[in-house]
Structure formats: C-alpha cells, structure tokens
Structure 1
Amino acid sequence: MPSITLPHVPYYVAAPPTKENLEYADLAIIDISKASSEEGRAALAIELREALLNLGFFYVIVNHISAQTTRMFDIADVPFSAVADDEKQNYASTRRQDGLLQGYTTRADNDGRVRDQLDQYCIHRDVTKRRHPEALLPLLPEIQEFSSHNHFNVLHPYPEVNVCPGVLSEDSDIYIFLRLIARSLELPEDTLLKKHVFDATGETAVRFIKYYPRTEEEESKTKNVWLQGHTAFTILWSQPVTALQIQTREGKWRWIRHIENALVVNVGDAMDFLTGGYYKGTIHRVIQPAVDQRNYTRLGLFYFCLPNDDIKLVPMVESPVLQRVGIQRRCEDSEAPTMENWRKARTMAFGLSKLKNGKEDGVEEEIIHGVIIKHYD
C-alpha cells in the first residue's frame, strides 16, 4: 500500500454465506506453492491443463492478504454508494460510440428494458487515462497498485521473481498463470507474456460491479438471469453472494462456491482463438442468488486482462500440443480480427445487438466479425 495512513473508506457489509444446499461445480484448486521447483512447475502445468479442459475455471487460494482484500471490496463500493446518480453521468463510458468501457455503465443504460440489474465502474490500468469522481480520487493509488498486482503478481512471474514488490503485501506469493498455460502447450514460458504486455493492452482494467435485487415481476421477465452467459479472461475475487454459475461440458449449470480469500480464474474468447479451440472459454452467467441472499446486493471485484491490441487472434500453430490434437479455427486466419477490433466490436454490440434464436434451447446468437457468439439464458 502507498502509505501507512490510508484514506477513510466506509466498510462494505457483505451478505453472510448462503446455507442453501446447491449443486456446486467441482473446481480445481491450484496450489502455486509448488512453483518453487522445476518439478513442481511441470506438475502445475498438467494440473492447469486438466482444469481448463474440464471446467475452464479454477481457484487460486490467497491465505495471507485478508485485510487487503477487505479493503479493496470497501473501495469497490465507493463508485456506487458515494457518488450521486447525476454525477455518474459525467463519467459514463463511451462503449456505444467507440467500444471503450472505462467509466460507468449503469442500469439507466438499459433504455427502460429489464436486462442486467447492475452498475459497473471500469478503471483502466493507467488510472490517469481519464477523469474520475471526486470520491475516488484519494483511492486511485491503491487501485493502480491493485491493477499492477493482478497483472504482475497473479498473471506473470514465479515466486522467486517478485517484479512488483510492496503491492498489497510485501511477502505476497507471485502467481504464474500465463507462464503455466504456455508451458501446458509446450511453448516457451514467455510466449503469452509477450502477448499480454501491461502497456500494450488496450482495455486491461479493474472493474467494480454491483448487482441489485429485483422485483418478482422483473425476475419473471428475465427468467431470473442477471447477466447472460459470456466469455472473458477474468480474475474474480471471491465474494459471498452465490449467484455465479458455469456450464459444464455436459451442458449442466453448476454454482461457484465462495471460498474466502480465493481467486476464481477463467479464460475466454481470446484464449479460445489463440489455442485453436483447445482452451475454450467456459460459458457462465449470473442469476438470481440463493434464496437466503436475495435481498442483498452483490459486489464484484474483477481484473480483466486481454492480449495486446495489435495481436491478431490466430492459433499458436507452433504449439506441439495443438499440432497433436488438431486446431479448430473460429474463422480463417486471413479474416481473423486483431484484439483491438474484437474487443471493441463485442463491447459496442453487447446489449444492443438484435439476437436470433440459436439451435440450442435457451441460446441466442449474434455474429461479430464473421464469428458466431452465443448468449445463454
């Protein structure tokens, strides 16, 4: 943290964990303490590959930063609880005009239709890139450090290489996500690091998302779905309101269990493109929470990381693994979009495209850059 004395932030009171008997997904728990040796890294690459092929999501447990995690959830609530609605309009995102999510996307953006019952505030990795509400200004150094922590201490290096000392905790473990994915594909470990350079990614950002309870009439109109199934390369800091579900490879919806101080990690569209369909983005959705939590708000703390804007989304054909299993291209290489073109097109289309019924029940489709995108109810 930047100093011993931090700006005061009201404490966000989260819901108590659900006591409902739910069908949970059996996610793998990645123990990054194994990464201290070459033998451990080889074993972790296999574990990660199995986790991504099985459910596409996995947990990483963080046992030593409880206070800092609590602090970040307190900060995450500030854009919603400490900023008036009329002031939020001064910092609205321009996603419809240019595909940039930075700033607010609120329930008011739904044009009177019942859709996602959430407010979102998106902060670029460079917090100086645009203006922020006054209530957030004293907190920007902490948000900047949180962004750096996620990118360098979660995605990039090994424990013995702390490239971002002092972020969140001076003795924090360093996570190895991108290196292990490359290793699982039998590629040089820096392959994906070069495609996810901190200063070259266009919309890598921290997002604070707050979901609000709905009336029974609104729930009926949306079939209890709060956020439709989608795919993104995401780090989610686990929180107690149980509302996130993933779709298994067999087509079953299963809940994600809350684990204190855990990260829930999944890959998405970009990795699907880059691995030729080997690591598919798991379909997931946010639905009406468990019965004993339905009167609570749900506060989400996210880090979304995308490849560099200039990366063309074509399969990494040099991977021996992909050569053995075969490559399933989502489009011809000559027609593949760059990351910048893809993310902007998806962002501008989200919630505005006229969706068509797909071949599967409960699935609607749209086409972006010649690629079929499915939305799951």
Structure 2
Amino acid sequence: MPVPAPELGSFNFVPVTKENLEWADLITIDLSLYNTPEGRKELAQTLIKAVREDGFFYVKNFDIPQEKVNRQFSLGKRFYETPLEEKLKYVPEGLDNGAFNGYVPSGRRILDPASGLRDRTEVYNIPKFNGDFKHDHPQIIQDFLPEIEEFARSLHSEVLDPLHVLLAIALELPEDYFTNIHKYEVKSEDHLRYMKYTKFTPEENLKLGRLWGRGHTDLGSWTLLFRQPVAALQIQNHKTGEWKWVKPQDATLTVNACDALTLLTGGYVKSTIHRVAAPPKDQEHVDRLGLLYFSRPHNDVPLATIKESPVLQREGYTQNNFEKTGNPCPDYGTMDLREAKVAAHQERRAR
C-alpha cells in the first residue's frame, strides 16, 4: 500500500556543467526489456560486458517515479539543514571501529597536510527495515520513516532483484541464485545514504589538486547512485589506469559492481576504483548532495568463488585470493574489511 506523502518542499537541481569534460562511455541497462525471456537474455549479456569492462553502468526504466526520487533528495536536504549539535546526537557508537549506521560528521580526514584542509563530507546511513537494526533518528527522518522504508524496499524489488537475476543468467546459474543471498528480510549490511559534499573555494580546490578523495572501491555487491547533475565522480579504466568523468544522465541510476561480487566470482566481475573530484568550475560554487543505496550479501554468506557457474569454470575463474592463499573465506558479516579490500584488489589485477 502506498505511503501517504506529507509536505516536504522541493529540491532544485543545479544546471549541468557546460565544460567539455572527458566522459566515460558507459553501457546502459534498459529494464523495459526485462519482462520477456529474450529480453532478460539480451540484458544479461549487456550486464556482464559492463561489469567486466567498466564496472560502472547506467540503469534506466526502473519502476520508481522520479517524484519519489526527488522527495528523497528533498529529505536529504532537510536533514542537512538540521543544526550540527542535533545531528551529532546520532553519531554511532564505535564509529572509529567500523560502525556506520547513523550520522558520520565531516572533518575526519586530512586532505592536504600542508594547509590542514580536512574533508567536508557528511553522511547519514539508514539500515534495513527488517527488524535486525535499531532505528533511532532525528525528527526530520523519523517523520518520514514509512516513506523512506517504502523507497528502500522498492530499490530491492525494482532494481537489485533484476540485476541479480541478470547476473545469474550471465553466469549460467539458476535465476534466483543471487536473489537468494540478497533477500531484504535476511540480515545484511545494506543501507540507504544521504551524503553531502560541502563546497571548497576555488583557492582551496587548487590546494587539494581538485581532488576531494582518494581512489577506492566499494564493499558489498552493488552501489546505486541516483542522478544529480553536479559532476564529481571519476572512474579509473581497468587497463589503462586513465581517469574519466561519469556523466549524470537523465532518469537513470549509476550503478557499480563491488568487492563482494569480485570475490564471489574469483575476479570475473570487476569492482572499479573511483574517486570524487572537485566539480568543474561552473559548478564548484554549490554543495553536492548525494542519494545512494549500498547492497550487501547476507551476513552469513562466505565470500568463496561460486563453484556452480559453468561460465566461471570454463573461463578459469575458480579461486579468489583467499582460496589461492589457503585462507578460509570469511562470511560477509564477520570479515576483516581491510583484508577483503586487499583480496578484491588482487583479483582485479590478476588478469
């Protein structure tokens, strides 16, 4: 049943950049083709090409109205207008030891030792609504929690489940293989995120080399990034090491494959190194608001190479780095995240 939509206010997207940036040429997955066996087969091959070559791709024609996406941006904007002293009440215990649900304040990383400039990135993470996680939120979030839950669940049914089915088809696995280890009702570290990058001055951006963060990959299975037109995301080509910008496309999601899929496929699916740069000069006067969703396997899923895939067997992707070194593959919920990062990095570079 649809959740009633209380008044929230509008979110105004800034104009797209007019600068001639070097954009990455990414594949688009058109989910309007998903509803027939022939369409799914075609999309499966398109998807595997995308996650083998770029790791990033676009998804369009997912069944979530743009109005609902806009309301989530408006909600994120309203949250970040909350006074800092109120937001700080929701910093998770154990933040320095890996806890992440709740509010993560800016200024925790030094970006430029010479000037002492620190990051200006704020994060608010909301975990699953399946009973496994305590939900304690500021009033602005609490007031809209039913709508947030409906939105988060729709990302599973309308985007993630189709991607999991397509990946299973591409690997010649049963269609429910990946959906069975990514069920919403089972405990996992999925989370919805409102993310704010507060602007730097042009002079500060020069001191930072116009980079707001180091290159990294994402943990988990998929990251969903909703379109917003402040250009800042850059990805690194697997073969050449060249950095290119990811262009915000109308009515799309930008999606990237993540480290858990790299480990589950022995490096066949490639998570891509990416970073956030200072926006082009005609956009660097505005703050950048992000709306993201991070998908994770169930916490009890071992990150071992999938042995049942004929494709992985034929192509020789039969062991990930944990298995090659004789170490046990950890469950997602108990693994050392830094160790998994190293293992996934080695998988990306192995072939």
TM-score range, shorter chain: 0.7 to 0.9
**What SS is found at the alignment partner of 1:154?**
helix
Equivalent residue in structure 1 for 2:296, among 306, 319, 327: 306
Equivalent residue in structure 1 for 2:209, among 214, 220, 223: 223
Q: For 1:237 and 1:258, how far apart are their aligned partners in 2?
A: 9
User: CA shift at 1:12, angstroms?
Assistant: 2.6
Contact 2:190 2:296 in 1 (8 A): yes
State TM-score, norm by structure 2. 0.87
Give 1:69's aligned residue: 69
Q: For 1:76 and 1:370, how far apart are their aligned partners in 2?
A: 29
Equivalent residue in structure 1 for 2:321, among 318, 327, 330: 330
Work out whether 1:253 is the aligned partner of 2:252: no
Amino acid at match of 2:125: C
CA RMSD of aligned residues (A): 2.2
* Structure 2 unaligned regions, length at least 5: 346-351
* Structure 1 unaligned regions, length at least 5: 157-175, 347-366
User: CA shift at 1:90, angstroms?
Assistant: 0.7
Work out whether 1:263 is the aligned partner of 2:263: no
| Aligned pairs (5 A) from 1:34-49 | 34-49=33-48
**1:337 to 1:261, Cα distance in 2 relative to 1, 3 A:** same
**1:373 to 1:181, Cα distance in 2 relative to 1, 3 A:** closer
**What SS is found at the alignment partner of 1:339?**
coil
Deviates more, 1:286-295 or 1:332-341: 332-341
Q: For 2:256 and 2:285, how far apart are their aligned partners in 1?
A: 28
Amino acid at match of 2:69: T
Equivalent residue in structure 2 for 1:200, among 186, 202, 216: 186
Q: For 1:111 and 1:47, how far apart are their aligned partners in 2?
A: 40
**What SS is found at the alignment partner of 1:60?**
strand
Deviates more, 1:69-78 or 1:211-220: 211-220
Q: For 1:25 and 1:109, how far apart are their aligned partners in 2?
A: 30
Contact 2:14 2:230 in 1 (8 A): yes
**1:78 to 1:62, Cα distance in 2 relative to 1, 3 A:** farther
User: CA shift at 1:182, angstroms?
Assistant: 0.9
Post-superposition CA distance 1:168-211 (Å, at most 9, x none)? xxxxxxxx100000111111111111111212243201000011
Give 1:162's aligned residue: none
Amino acid at match of 2:189: E
Contact 1:242 1:290 in 2 (8 A): yes
| Aligned pairs (5 A) from 1:1-377 | 2-4=2-4, 6-62=5-61, 65-81=65-81, 83-96=82-95, 98-110=97-109, 114-126=117-129, 129-156=134-161, 176-216=162-202, 218-232=204-218, 233-249=222-238, 250-327=240-317, 328-332=319-323, 334-342=327-335, 345-346=336-337, 368=339, 371=342
Contact 1:25 1:254 in 2 (8 A): yes
Q: For 2:217 and 2:314, how far apart are their aligned partners in 1?
A: 26
**1:53 to 1:289, Cα distance in 2 relative to 1, 3 A:** same
**1:251 to 1:73, Cα distance in 2 relative to 1, 3 A:** same
Contact 1:268 1:282 in 2 (8 A): yes
Give 1:359's aligned residue: none
Deviates more, 1:101-110 or 1:116-125: 101-110
User: CA shift at 1:111, angstroms?
Assistant: 7.6
Q: For 1:23 and 1:96, how far apart are their aligned partners in 2?
A: 37
Q: For 1:230 and 1:369, how far apart are their aligned partners in 2?
A: 13
Deviates more, 1:8-17 or 1:53-62: 8-17
**What SS is found at the alignment partner of 2:194?**
strand
Q: For 2:185 and 2:74, how far apart are their aligned partners in 1?
A: 27
Q: For 2:232 and 2:341, how far apart are their aligned partners in 1?
A: 32
**What SS is found at the alignment partner of 2:254?**
strand
**What SS is found at the alignment partner of 2:334?**
helix
Deviates more, 1:297-306 or 1:211-220: 211-220
**1:369 to 1:270, Cα distance in 2 relative to 1, 3 A:** closer
Contact 2:124 2:195 in 1 (8 A): yes
Provide the identity percentage.
38
User: CA shift at 1:371, angstroms?
Assistant: 3.0
User: CA shift at 1:217, angstroms?
Assistant: 5.5
**What SS is found at the alignment partner of 1:121?**
strand
Amino acid at match of 1:70: N
**What SS is found at the alignment partner of 2:212?**
strand
**1:94 to 1:281, Cα distance in 2 relative to 1, 3 A:** farther
Q: For 2:249 and 2:137, how far apart are their aligned partners in 1?
A: 32
Give 2:348's aligned residue: none
Amino acid at match of 2:333: E
**What SS is found at the alignment partner of 1:104?**
strand
Contact 2:31 2:61 in 1 (8 A): no
